[in-house]
Structure 1
Amino acid sequence: MPGPSGLILIDKPGGITSHGVVTRTRKRAATRKVGHAGTLDPMATGLLLLGLGSSTRLLTYMVGLDKEYEATIRLGQTSSTDDADGEVSPPASRAALDAVGESELSAEIEHLIGNIEQVPSTVSAIKVDGKRAYARARAGEEVVLKPRSVTVSAFDVLDLRREESVIDVDVRVECSSGTYIRALARDLGTGLSVGGHLTALRRTRVGPFRIADAVELEELNVAEHLLSPVDAASALFPTVTLDEDAADDLSHGRRIGTSGIPAVTGAIAAIAPDGRLIGLMERRGEHMRTLVNFPEDEGGSRG
């Protein structure tokens, strides 16, 4: 009997690594074949996508999906890690904080929307000469990271609270994969000349998947909360149901014709007549070729 295959949407709690969530899920699912798409820091909570069994093959196509976060940015203090886990600086002067009004905040946020060049946090997982930036930083090395092009499509203020020595701003951010919300907090504070860092982060969406459909880790029942491979693929890609001959050819790695298949760029989910996921295919000239195939007994079926 094959192990479970599909996608699980987890609402990750704070204080645990993404790998820790994978470890716990392996025990519950009684399988080693579990992976995740899009790491969340231990401090962060929210949506973590897990692939089980052959559905780990879909994870490659999920890491580049756009994302949505809700976060709290603390203005008035910087942090060595750009978040609450680092060494926090003394607060900015009261005069500097008083100079941060709603118009100033909105103007500075506007500079961080759109296609921007962002310098990642020095404690990010980006590799510098083969070694993680955070490992170099923690070893006392000076880490200089190059700016990266990212897209911030929304940066909305949800609430603002003025304390005696800081300003806490609750925000919602929609962004491309690879965007660092910690870096947005840092850059917002720098632009306002008061410093800033992240104190809370929650991921609420990854591509078409939303936190409302996720299960808390402690309540996970693998059989109950497993999204079948065909349903997962159908959420991610255009789908085509093939006839029996084409399904058999594609299942065995043979190319098929393009008749009746949408002229789209990128992966298409191929569905067998019985509703199971055959795999992913893409157009190559006058033929469709296989990108990823699923075992016949793990393709699931439409619910």
Structure 2
Amino acid sequence: MANGLKNVFKSQAFTLALIGAVIAAVVAPWIGVAEGPLRTEATSKIAVALTFLVQGLSLPTRQILRSATKFKVHSFNLLCNFCFAPLLMIAFLAVVGKWIHPGLEAGFLYLSILPTTISSAIVMTSSSEGDSSTALFSTTLANVLGVFITPVLCAELILYTSDGAPSLGTTIGKIALLVLTPLIVGQLIRPWIREWANKSKASFKRVSNSLVVFIVYAAFCQSVESGIWGEVGAATIVAVLLIAIAFLLLFSALVWLTSPMASNRIDERIAIFFCGSHKTLAAGVPMASILFSSLPAESDLTLGLIILPLMCFHPLQLFLAGFLTPLFAGQAR
């Protein structure tokens, strides 16, 4: 019993750390606000850059290039990430959006325009006997293109419906500087430290997760300090979870049922499922801290509310993936 509980805590350590960051922000928001003791207006940006430097160091370049020629599969995954997901979310929110806070509605839209995960999509694809090299290229491509596509979609669907939004060119420039540049630098450095980087995968993951937890803490400190959570009760949090579950199930079913349009091979369809249906928390939180950093304090679009749907969606997609992995593996054998 004790060992089982220990394993649960170990497997869900990241999710528990995120919950702890939110609780810490509620208890002591003054520590993490802008110009507070942690100087999060600067340290959050440093954390974003370090997160993507670590990703650049972690990604095996040669393996990425191995599946670069599977244009149909990669194009379909991009359509799932940046076209099918937003369209489904817009339709979904047309039905349920009127019952939730505007900031949370924007959060669900933001969730839908994010690229896929890198690490979990690859791990789940491999565990399911899917084509992990295809998953590696697709996830990397989506995250690189997401530096440009996500801000454009954000401008069209969220930011430019509110006052005080920064210019699109400025936003993309900031994201490219803090996201794409460290990623490229990490890849350029990697050949010189490949052996050490391969041995340090677990450490890289812990560092990356810790940086994301810090960014989440800073974001929630700002939203707690603004008083926005006085407008959001427990019923709203439950509603966010229910909407996230419903969207996850609908979108996952859509990706799986349409995946034969890109490939009839079961190993590639498994890669498509995980790459097409997952959404990245590791990149989503840092990008949100840049995209929504210039909004006025009185705006409904506070960062804490915007990333809440993503924080709920992340463990749910991993739970579903864990349930489906043995079923997919059985089909692939």
For this structure pair, what is the TM-score category when the shorter chain's length is used for normalisation?
Answer: under 0.3
Higher relative contact order (CA 8 A, sep 6+): 2
Give TM-score, length-normalised by structure 1. 0.22
Give TM-score, length-normalised by structure 2. 0.20
Name the structure where strand makes up a greater proportion of residues: 1
